[in-house]
Chain A
Amino acid sequence: MGTITRISGPLVEARDLNEAFMYELVKVGEVGLFGEIIEMRSGIVSIQVYEDTETLKPGEPVSCTGVPLSALLGPGLIGSIYDGLQRPLPVLQSKYGDFVARGVIEPALDQSRKWDFVATKTEGQVGEGDIIGTVQETDIVAHKIMIPAGVKGRIEGIKSGEYTITEPIGYVIDGEKKHELKLAQTWPVRISRPVQKRLPPKDPMVTGQRVLDMLFPIAKGGTACVPGPFGSGKTVVQHQLAKWADADIIVYVGCGERGNEMTDVLDEFPKLVDPKTGAPLMNRTVLIANTSNMPVAAREASVFLGATIAQYFRDMGYSVAMMADSTSRWAEAMREISGRLEEMPGEEGFPAYLASRVAGFYERAGQTECIGTPEREGTLSIIGAVSPPGGDLSEPVVQATLRAVKVFWALDSQLAYRRHFPAINWLNSYSLYASEVGPSFDRSVGEGWTKYRQRAMTILDEEARLEEIVRLVGQDALSPKQRLTLEFARSIREDFLQQNAFVAEDTYTSPQKQLMLLTAICELYDGAAGVIETQEQYSALLSNPVREKISRAKMTPEPADGFFAGLMKEIEQALAQIGGMQ
């Protein structure tokens, strides 16, 4: 038992904790607040306390728990909503009321619920990561039960049946040692779960968001960041990915952001249907909510908790996508604690280890060969929002993130003011997966994906160049061809890139429809460039009804093959008519 010697906000110092170890979870004060040891120095340990320290006094006790901050992993995770310490928020609400009480702990997984366990491995030798059975957790998630780390030997007494997460489902005999197997296991959140082998990500993660899939795609197992000033659309992008990305499991971490945004997810996800499986989206989702008004140290833990849960599902062989909104709040939590520890600050007061922490976090993503049998591959994609002060991309968190991720979706406040959403700037965003993922789309969706993508990028670049000219000397200086290019670019922007997340017909677009839509736009304008010679022809194109039809094409419900076949005919006719005008 130790004693508190100093309290400064979320940082508490204590002495006489000789048996304690670094990153151990401790209980602080008479009320038993949760904290974690983050520094030990000549007899004094520093503890970041995960709850409000108001009224805590020097002299109050501190006790060790003997374990590091760990996640409880097992059936029941899906559909849960936790705080940053994995306390189940609905349970806290029903037991302690609408406001989060201090010093209370509830098991992360329901201890009394019986799960139907089907054993798939009943005899022989097993080792870490081996799958020994499954629990059908939701209609779409089969929870694989794996041998925990450090356990190996002969499996014994394992039977299918109904179990709670605390009952033994069988044993592993390792010489003298007999290890009890259960449906749930724990893992320290600050340690990345190991893998057999890392592989380069190669398959696209379809998001149904046209600007992402077509221009700046992310691969399954890839990493991406969404930086942007407030109101530019970071959270909507993250929500859209959580809704529509073709991953098996979604882990969504609301880190230091708005409470209502989590409520929104909680209200919507049970009602929305996954386009791939037809099941409610909530049935593949785990939520972690450590909102901005919840204690700052727990915010720091929340992203690691999320990553640990995500890796656990990856280890079952699933494709998992994790969103963290916003990693800047996580970095600021580090800064606050570091400041109170009086560490030597780096840039803008952030600790010197900011970059390595950020890199370490994104390193948890990847396409991997999982440990254990049967052989399987899993992927974990991580998408982090970044909230730079004043929208300034040169600040430390953005810069550290850019060094760690492969996809950069730059949100732009000017686009947001024009209500061009998603406000992803096409000139400075990039995806380092495009060269892998494009050909994959060519094969799975249709030849032409990379061709039309390239065409769109070229036209958008061209537009930026022409706009420079217009700004200097006005419209009149442009040739008819150049004006046509501007119309082409406008059509790409307005008819293809803009996508309203809140309109049912528009919120998700299949890759097939994306390709048909972009094909139509490119064919019209490239075709027009081939036939238009005179001003009359140009005017005829501008007033041709096919343009309006293209502008409404994105609203066509799917499957839309018939519509687009018709549209292509009309484009052909329009071009023939305009071409015949001279």
Chain B
Amino acid sequence: MKEFMTTKEVVGPLILVTDCGDVGYGEVAEITMPDGQTRHAMVLQTSHDLALLQVFEGTSGINPGTTRVRFTAKPLQIGLTPDMIGRVFDGLGRPKDGGPVPIPKKRVSINGSPLNPVSRAYPNEFISTGISAIDGLNTLVRGQKLPIFSGAGLPHARIAAQIARQATISTGEEFSVVFAALGVTFEEANFFIEGLKATGADARSVLFINLASDPVIERIAIPRMALSCAEYLAFELGYHVLVIMTDMTNYCEALREIGAARREIPGRRGYPGYMYTDLASLYERAGRIRDKKGSITQMPILTMPDDDKTHPIPDLTGYITEGQIMLSRSLERAGVYPPIDVLPSLSRLRDKGIGDGKTREDHADLSSQLFASYARGREARELAVILGESALSPIDVTYVRFAEEFEKRFVSQGEFEDRNITATLELGWELLSILPKAELKRVHKEFLEKYGKA
């Protein structure tokens, strides 16, 4: 295959190659450095004799005159085989655990293809995570994409690990975990890996690791590698896959870096205008397919810059995912673990995953009542902070007490405590007994009579 030594420009992570004939859009190129080291790049724009490429491993050390570029005529691909299970890979799918390169059974473009909406099966199987704030109020279902919106220093990693450890569905089936680390620290990645090992889940997991010290632009490829692998496990081998991707904020930073190097007109806060579409091409790869056994449940993690949920990264994510689990710094300060703020949290698929035959008939009513009552309690508490408790009506004082108990007993639980759904629901009813019965307008009378506590 022909090699070109015609690199003309190097700008940030991009290089421009001339006199290269007709190169395909999205094609991968191999770059040989003067010292013989090889790197990989992908075509971002192409016209006759001119190709703009992003270099995954970065451009440091590239010399326009001596660097050789070879086009492979293929998009970025990943080789797939059942032998990947239990292994660790880097951002370009190369083994990182010292083991041999698995012999692929097939190769696919990491970009995948859009799933036909007609082929989707609506996710509706309840996943028990053992965490009341999730199971009771923001229920996760199999095939959902439910991110954790966190902030720097909040315990998202511990929560995600607890979910990976405890998640089961009613038939007792366990998940295989596909874990993609995007620019996180060695410690954080290691925490996950050790966590998976401790439960033996590593034997049914595949890890893709790009650490903070690894090339930034690889982060563009790594979620796609992980999701292609997840699709293979789920839809060809029949596994139920839980994909954890952390930290999506680092992914978006990498996108922004490329956009800036291309001198694109930026969208909000310097992020590319196509970031919504780009993120959707990842998140929409969760789900179930009619008549296929496996499923992909996604739990992306992102840290909100400045704890600001209107920042483009959480904002665009929330517009695509099927809800969000929002962590709160003030709950964390108050010593609540997991510090999940249930009010801005949401599971859009909850209603199809709960109820008679799935969890319990009263689940929807109960959670709706808990939400409403906690919201009122919180509002009253805020008022009391300004004006003192004496400014509240007697009923609002009761609501404040409810809110406090709710945070202390319902939201709060142990990191290794696996509360089953019945325990969660019973606890919910117990807390509601703090309030007068007439206030419980959101529950059907018959459930109040059957499950309500005196």
> Which residues of A come within 8 Å of B, CB atoms?
5-9, 13, 52-60, 81, 89-90, 92-93, 98-102, 229-231, 254, 256, 258-260, 262-264, 266-267, 289, 291-296, 329, 332, 335-336, 339, 345, 348-349, 387, 389-392, 413, 417-420, 470-471, 473-476, 494-495, 500, 502-503, 543, 547-548, 551-552, 555
Contact = CB atoms under 8 A, between A and B. Distances in A.
A8 B45 contact: yes
B114 A100 contact: yes
Given A55-B26, A258-B320, A418-B376, 18 more contacts: A7-B47, A9-B25, A56-B25, A57-B25, A59-B22, A98-B289, A99-B116, A231-B324, A256-B276, A260-B122, A260-B322, A291-B114, A292-B284, A296-B274, A329-B276, A389-B310, A418-B343, A471-B383
B22 A348 contact: no
A291 B118 contact: no
Nearest to B26: A54
21 contacts: A6-B47, A54-B24, A54-B26, A54-B75, A56-B25, A58-B23, A89-B117, A99-B114, A260-B287, A292-B280, A292-B281, A292-B320, A339-B264, A418-B375, A419-B371, A474-B388, A474-B392, A475-B391, A476-B390, A476-B391, A552-B441
Contacts of A9: 25, 274
B118 A57 contact: no
A419 B135 CA distance: 17
B386 to A, nearest CB: 7
Contacts of B351: 502
A53 B280 contact: no
A471 B386 contact: yes
A547 B438 CA distance: 9
The 5 closest A-B pairs by CB, nearest first: A474-B391, A390-B310, A292-B280, A293-B284, A6-B47
Contact of A552 (B26, B112, B445): B445
A403 B258 CA distance: 36
A92 B310 CA distance: 38
B273 A349 contact: yes
A370 B27 CA distance: 52
A417 B372 CA distance: 9
B245 interface: no
A102 B388 CA distance: 65
Interface stretch (B96-104, B167-175, B311-319): B311-319
Question: Which has the most chain B C-beta neighbours within 10 Å: A289, A335, A349, A473?
Answer: A349
A475 B387 CA distance: 10
A99 B45 contact: no
B368 interface: yes
Interface in B118-142: 118-123
Q: B interface, by DSSP: helix, strand, loop or mixed?
A: mixed
Contacts of A52: 111, 113
B265 A345 contact: yes
Interface residues of B, number: 81
Interface in B39-63: 44-48
Interface of B: 22-27, 44-48, 74-75, 109, 111-123, 235, 264-268, 273-274, 276-277, 280-281, 284-285, 287, 289-290, 292, 310-312, 315-316, 318-320, 322-324, 343-344, 346, 348-349, 351, 364, 368, 371-372, 375-376, 383, 386-388, 390-393, 396, 438, 441, 444-445
B316 to A, nearest CB: 8
A339 B262 CA distance: 12
Contacts of A54: 24-26, 75, 109, 111
A353 B118 CA distance: 34
Nearest to A495: B441
A262 B117 contact: yes
A417 B24 contact: no
B390 A93 contact: no
A413 B326 CA distance: 14
A546 to B, nearest CB: 11
Contacts of B235: 98
Nearest to A416: B346
Nearest to B76: A54
B117 A291 contact: yes
A417 B320 contact: no
B115 A293 contact: yes
Contacts of A418: 343, 371-372, 375-376
B47 A58 contact: yes
A58 B117 contact: no
Nearest to A235: B348
A55 B322 contact: no
A8 B45 CA distance: 5
Contacts of A13: 47
A7 B48 CA distance: 10
B49 to A, nearest CB: 8
B37 to A, nearest CB: 27
B364 A502 contact: yes
A62 B182 CA distance: 40
Contacts of A339: 264-265, 273
A391 B344 CA distance: 14
A419 B368 contact: yes
A335 B275 CA distance: 12
B310 A392 contact: yes
B116 A89 contact: yes
Nearest to A475: B393
Contact of B348 (A58, A231, A291, A336): A231
B75 A419 contact: no
A99 B115 contact: yes
Given A260-B122, A266-B117, A53 B26 contact: yes
Contacts of B287: 259-260
Contact of A230 (B267, B274, B319): B319
A551 B323 CA distance: 29
B429 to A, nearest CB: 18
Contacts of A348: 267-268
A278 to B, nearest CB: 25
Contact of A259 (B47, B284, B392): B284
A6 B383 contact: no
A494 B441 CA distance: 9
A59 B48 contact: yes
B267 A259 contact: no
A388 B101 CA distance: 46
B117 A263 contact: yes
Given A292-B276, A390-B315, A92 B364 contact: no
B114 A57 contact: no
Nearest to B277: A296
Question: Which has the most chain A C-beta neighbours within 10 Å: B74, B118, B276, B318?
Answer: B118
B110 to A, nearest CB: 10
Given A89-B118, A291-B114, A260 B349 contact: yes
Contacts of B27: 55
Contact of B45 (A7, A93, A231): A7
Contacts of B445: 552
Contacts of B280: 256, 291-293
A576 B75 CA distance: 80
Contact of B277 (A101, A264, A292): A292
A98 B117 contact: no
A473 B387 contact: yes
B310 A58 contact: no
Given A100-B113, A390-B315, A93 B119 contact: yes
